[in-house]
Structure 1
Amino acid sequence: MNETKEIKVSTTDPDSGYMIRDGKPEGFFYLDHRTVDLKYNLITDVHVTPGNVRDSVP
């Protein structure tokens, strides 16, 4: 049994990802993942991913 998965792609920004999450607006987004210094809470690194990438991936 083969199941097909619909993948939505933005016509204006194909690098973005379609995000559906409870309590959040639905649509094409980017997510930023931050590394923070524990002592001073300064952001030391940022990694940006399409909105459809799970938080555990980066």
Structure 2
Amino acid sequence: MSLLGKKFPAPVGRVMAPFYVSGLVVMYGINSFANLIATSDSFDFKNDPRNPALKNAPAKH
């Protein structure tokens, strides 16, 4: 006897595949845009002390 109950042969992976792929595309786009903002000189986030890109950059005097 299984703890999860009866298994039903539903094709969940094949049906949900377009949603998984579109989710990955959206997450990649958001990550790319966030990296662009963090490293760009034209945005005000460049000098923000919470910017993670400043932790890896050498100190400017």
TM-score with structure 2 length normalisation?
0.23
Higher percent of residues as helix: 2
Higher percent of residues as strand: 1
TM-score with structure 1 length normalisation?
0.24
* Higher gyration radius (CA): 2
